[in-house]
Amino acid sequence: MPISIPVRLRRLRQTEAVRAMLNETALTPANLVAPLFVHDSPKAEPVGSMPGVERVSLDGLVEKARRLHELGVKGVALFAKIPDDKKSSGGEEALNPHTLALRAIRRIKADVPGLVIFADIALDPYTTHGHDGVLTGDRADVDNDATLEVLAKMAVLSAAAGADFVAPSDMMDGRVAVIREALDEAGHTRTGILAYSAKFASAAYGPFRDAVGSSRKPGEKSLSKATYQLNPGNRREALREALADEAEGADMLMVKPAGDYLDIIRDLREATDAPIAAYQVSGEYARLQAAARLGWLDLRAARDESLLAIRRAGADFILTYFAEAWASDYHAR
């Protein structure tokens, strides 16, 4: 004889149709942005620590962009691998109007105009020391205000090349306000700012640094960015950083990494109506790939769950290296 249980929540999960009708969190290709790596070489090079990810030529970049656009992915974030002989302590190559990142923006904007382009604004791919800015005179830290001047010039160059949004990922104080002023003075009032607002000093960035060539060489001291990236234990400070960026004129706010900082995404979602992005970073991607290769989890199921969790926490869109594969599977369902 059935037990009398007035509230049986399983009734709301008993068929696929009911489950679909009551689904609270939707994820579509339009919620994804694909980070892409480009280099000045005719051949694609795999990134060893990121299975399935490559550095591609400009022609290969356009092919990837077209494919993503066809799949319904609306945006790409571009990252250039700069040859070592073009790097310097001050990162001067970042202000070369013909540098690879700017050529990449121009190519995609010309060949795939419907795709939203996010241009990375930081100096780490261009510096010999791998930091995101100009060093102080004693080389003990990053010089905040000197870095702002360079970032503002980078942003104007990126906007002139056709970037829809500039994305300062440096975590310098005041950079959003300085960049907004520089863009407006140059006539780029329609160019938006996606601020890496809550970017933590995470252990999960290693594969990305491999991809852009900013990782430490064997035998060199590990690179610490703790004086400008956030302390992973600081939840309140993350909110202060993000709200300060919004007050300075950021159009969108980002939390990075995403999966290990779902509480920060939710805090920010509850504190602002601004669009929120979350970056599922290289280390998050790599560890899912590695566990799957060892047979410890189902890659597709774990991938889908990780992306859904980021959306459920409150992100409007997600930067993820799974973008193309997830979108392909979405259309195959």
Among 64, 87, 199, 225, the active-site one is: 199
Write out the two tokens for 40. 């000045």
Q: How many CA atoms lie within 13 A of 102 on its CB side?
A: 16
Considering only CA atoms, which of 190, 156, 194, 160 is closest in space to residue 176?
194
DSSP structure class, residue 273: -
SS3 18: helix
What's the CA gap between 197 and 205, in Å, rounded? 16
- Indicate the residue type of 283: G
- Phi first, then psi: what are they for 181, rounded to 5°? -65, -45
Does 74 qualify as catalytic in the annotation? no
DSSP 159-228: HHHT-SEEEE-S--TTHHHHHHHHHHHTT-TT-EEEEEEEEB--GGGHHHHHHHT-SPPTTSPPP--TTT
Task: State yes or no: is 43 an active-site residue.
Answer: no
Intra-chain end-to-end CA distance of the chain, in Å:
41
Q: How far apart are CA 83 and CA 37, in angstroms?
A: 13
The H-or-E segment that residue 78 falls in is strand 75-81
In sequence order, the 6+-apart residues with CB closer than 8 A to the CB of 125 are: 79, 80, 81, 82, 94, 101, 212, 213, 214
The catalytic residue positions are 199, 256
